[in-house]
Amino acid sequence: MRETGKTGKRSGGNICVNQKKCGSCRYLSLTYEQQLARKEEFVRKSLGKGLVKRVMPAVGMEDPYHYRNKVTAVFARDRKGNPISGVYEGGTHHVLPVEECLIEDALADEIIGTIRGMLRSFKIWVYDEDTRRGILRYVLVRRGFATGQVMVVLVTASPVFPSRKNFVQALLKEHPQITTVVQNINGRTDSLILGDRQQVLYGKGYIEDVLCGCTFRISPSSFYQINPVQTEKLYTKAIELAHLTGRERVIDAYCGIGTIGLVAASRPESARAGEVLAVELNPDAVRDAAVNAKRNGIGNVRFYQADAGDFMRKMAAQGERADVLFMDPPRGGSTEAFMRSAAKLGPERIVYISCNPETLGRDLKVFRTLGYLAGEVWPVDMFPWTESCEAVCALTRRR
Ligand code: SAH
């Protein structure tokens, strides 16, 4: 039955028939220990000499497989007109069929396979990028590993979706683990997966997950770390590096659904944040964050929907102060405007969480000119078998 995307494990490396064309897992021929060493070295090289006190050994996973809690599949048709689903071949718009994957959640892959198999009998045509005809473009599956809740997002080119009720019923019958189904409408021609409009077809329209003892609501478009096992280690290290004592005024910048700030505010009284101000650009994520604060009974966290740079500039202009700053920007890193204003708020410590060691290095140099020196850097392997590496670094104000 399974003809494509075969995967297998063997000691010292892995087999994946899609390895070359997919291009995501570039480290499949290495042992896991070799990967961790490479990532540590990559962080060290990206940061260069003298910028940080020390790069620590990379924190790895015990079982580095099927860690991705979010799987996105592109739908297309093969030469014979049969629906296929998978990923774009590196740098192209050619869809590479994927049935199973070493790093993706196995249930998510199964659900995507079931949907592909249902299309013909429901007469749902796959969207064609050239003619711009057809219905189904992408399927996104997200699973809360701690709660078991599963969200399926069906991304269609227009609101048209014939017999959607029966389709959802049939899907739920095959996979009763699914807790919510959302139709998202994306008529755009760029490469973004989700459009602005959506409607809930089943369930609540979001899932929940538990991280570091807090429960988080996650909407389809909100950012949520894709490897929850490693995220707990990352947040625990980040909060440890902040040395909170229960009195600090804390800023959580680029906060997403509020994870870091809420976890920092929910620690035991003598080791938590006294007050948290959190800022995030995506309005859906900010809405999730506010619900998450209530859901966890945390009253001393306020969320702001704004560009983080603008927010910091305003804070600085108003003469506000902060004791600790957590910052977790996207791959492109932060901005000079953000960092300059951050320094004006005078935090004793800055904890920088980065998914790109290169922009981390660039930003740490800026912080140095502003009087903040980087101490230990902890690489955390959030993306085994791929080249990507996350790292957390604590900076302190020069006296
Ligand atoms: N700290 C969160 C999210 C980190 S991902 C977590 O660990 O889950 C980076 C976040 O920055 C995303 O939620 C993204 O929407 C947000 N973001 C991107 N550009 C931004 C900007 N200019 N201002 C504020 N937030 C931004």
Handedness of CA 256, 257, 259, 262 (dihedral sign): positive
Tell which one of 192, 223, 239, 259 to mutate to probe ligand 1, the residue whose CB is within 8 A of the most ligand atoms.
223
Closest-CA residue, ligand 1 atom 1, reads 255
Helix 308-317, helix 336-344: angle, nearest 10: 30
Tokens of 390: 């996350």
* Nearest Cα to Cα of residue 170 among 111, 126, 82, 100: 111
pLDDT at 10: 46
Whether 225 is in the pocket of ligand 1, judged by its Cβ within 6 Å, is yes
Whether 258 is in the pocket of ligand 1, judged by its Cβ within 6 Å, is no
Tokens of 19: 């390895």
pLDDT truncated to tens, each residue of the chain (399 aa)?
233 344 555 445 577 989 889 999 999 999 999 999 999 999 999 999 999 999 999 999 999 999 999 999 999 999 999 999 999 998 788 999 999 999 999 999 999 999 999 999 999 999 998 999 999 999 999 999 999 999 999 999 999 999 999 999 999 999 999 999 999 999 998 889 999 999 999 999 999 999 999 999 999 999 999 999 999 999 999 999 999 999 999 999 999 999 999 999 999 999 999 999 999 999 999 999 999 999 999 999 999 999 999 999 999 999 999 999 999 999 999 999 999 999 999 999 999 999 999 999 999 999 999 999 999 999 999 999 999 999 999 999 998
Closest-CA residue, ligand 1 atom 16, reads 254
pLDDT at 13: 58
pLDDT at 3: 33
Tell which one of 218, 236, 250, 280 to mutate to probe ligand 1, the residue whose CB is within 8 A of the most ligand atoms.
280
Spatial separation of the C-alpha atoms in residues 326 and 329, rounded to whole Å: 10
Whether 330 is in the pocket of ligand 1, judged by its Cβ within 6 Å, is yes
pLDDT at 57: 97
Please report the atom of ligand 1 found closest to the CA of residue 223: 13
pLDDT at 4: 36
User: 355 catalytic, yes or no?
Assistant: yes
Instruction: Tell me the CA–centroid distance for residue 330 and ligand 1, in Å.
Output: 6
Whether 308 is in the pocket of ligand 1, judged by its Cβ within 6 Å, is yes
pLDDT at 140: 98
Express each pLDDT in 232-258 by its tens digit.
999 999 999 999 999 999 999 999 999
Report pTM. 0.93
Whether 256 is in the pocket of ligand 1, judged by its Cβ within 6 Å, is yes
Instruction: Tell me the CA–centroid distance for residue 256 and ligand 1, in Å.
Output: 5
Using CA atoms, how far residue 113 sits from 75, 119, 171, in Å, is 11, 10, 11
Whether 254 is in the pocket of ligand 1, judged by its Cβ within 6 Å, is yes
* Nearest Cα to Cα of residue 250 among 169, 348, 155: 348
Please report the atom of ligand 1 found closest to the CA of residue 355: 5
- The single residue of 16, 101, 212, 355 carrying the catalytic annotation is 355
Whether 382 is in the pocket of ligand 1, judged by its Cβ within 6 Å, is no
Closest-CA residue, ligand 1 atom 19, reads 281
